[in-house]
Amino acid sequence: MAEARLVFAATDDASVNAQVCAEAEALGKFANAADDGAGGGFLVPAAVRRGRLTLAVSTAGASPGLAAALRRRLEEAFGEEYAPYLELLHELRGIVQQAVPETGGRQELFRGMLEWELLPLLRNGRADQAELRAKLARRVLQDPTPAGIEAIGAWLRVYARQMGHE
């Protein structure tokens, strides 16, 4: 335990958990017991991970069951499509950062990209993600302006309808 920085006590014996935490804290370590999350030196939130997206819920130990239930709701609301969505936004962000020198202009383009109907397209799984990524990157590079971003949004709506009718 001397080299540890973070200690979890997770036995089925509350007295053992308490002893482990007391020893860890005496050594200056952060400690937490599975049966007493609120009494520990740190909180462990219920988390949902979707690639670069991390959503966390904590009730500060008041109700781990509620935190778990809320995590399940988040898992339903933020599906697996968020992982490729964020990868795509990350890639396009890099393109915009290279093409547009001023921060204000870039921010306007980023906000415009969030208006695109990409999530439903990624959710239904009909679009070839590599092809879509390449087409979007090319279009953003061709016209990295607010009008260009708006035009891409219109193109995406047509593209999505085509994908839905295949």
What CATH number has the domain bearing residue 58?
3.30.160
pTM over 0.75? The answer is yes
Q: Over 80: is that where the pLDDT of 164 sits?
A: no
Are residues 115 and 146 both part of a single domain? yes
| Stronger pLDDT, 2 or 108, i.e. the higher one | 108
CB 7 within 8 A of CB 34: no
Helices (H) then strands (E): counts for the chain: 7, 4
Are residues 17 and 62 both part of a single domain? no
CA 147 – CA 127 distance, rounded (Å): 24
Are residues 118 and 136 both part of a single domain? yes
Say how many residues make up the chain. Answer: 166
Q: What is the pLDDT of residue 72?
A: 97
Are residues 51 and 38 both part of a single domain? no
Are residues 29 and 13 both part of a single domain? yes
Band of residue 165 on the pLDDT scale cut at 50, 70, 90: very low
Band of residue 8 on the pLDDT scale cut at 50, 70, 90: confident
Q: Over 80: is that where the pLDDT of 49 sits?
A: yes
Q: What is the pLDDT of residue 111?
A: 97
* Both structure tokens of 86: 């964020």
> Rounded mean pLDDT of 140-164?
94
First to last CA, the chain: 59
| Stronger pLDDT, 32 or 86, i.e. the higher one | 86
Are residues 70 and 89 both part of a single domain? no
> Rounded mean pLDDT of 12-23?
88
Are residues 86 and 159 both part of a single domain? yes
Structural domain total, the chain: 3
Note down the domain range covering 145.
82-164
Are residues 34 and 49 both part of a single domain? no
Q: Over 80: is that where the pLDDT of 33 sits?
A: yes
Are residues 160 and 86 both part of a single domain? yes
Q: What is the pLDDT of residue 138?
A: 97
* pLDDT, tens digit (0-9, with 9 covering 90-100), for 69-90: 999 999 999 999 999 999 999 9
Q: What is the pLDDT of residue 166?
A: 45
DSSP 3-state percent helix, strand, coil across the chain (nearest 5): 60, 10, 30
CB 17 within 8 A of CB 10: yes
Please give the full DSSP string across 60-108, using - where no structure is assigned: TTS-HHHHHHHHHHHHHHS-TTHHHHHHHHHHHHHHHHHH--SHHHHHH
Are residues 144 and 117 both part of a single domain? yes
CB 31 within 8 A of CB 24: yes
9-74-149 Cα angle (round to 5): 130
Are residues 88 and 156 both part of a single domain? yes
- The mean-pLDDT minimum among 64-68, 106-110, 112-116 falls in 64-68
Are residues 91 and 114 both part of a single domain? yes
> Rounded mean pLDDT of 51-66?
91
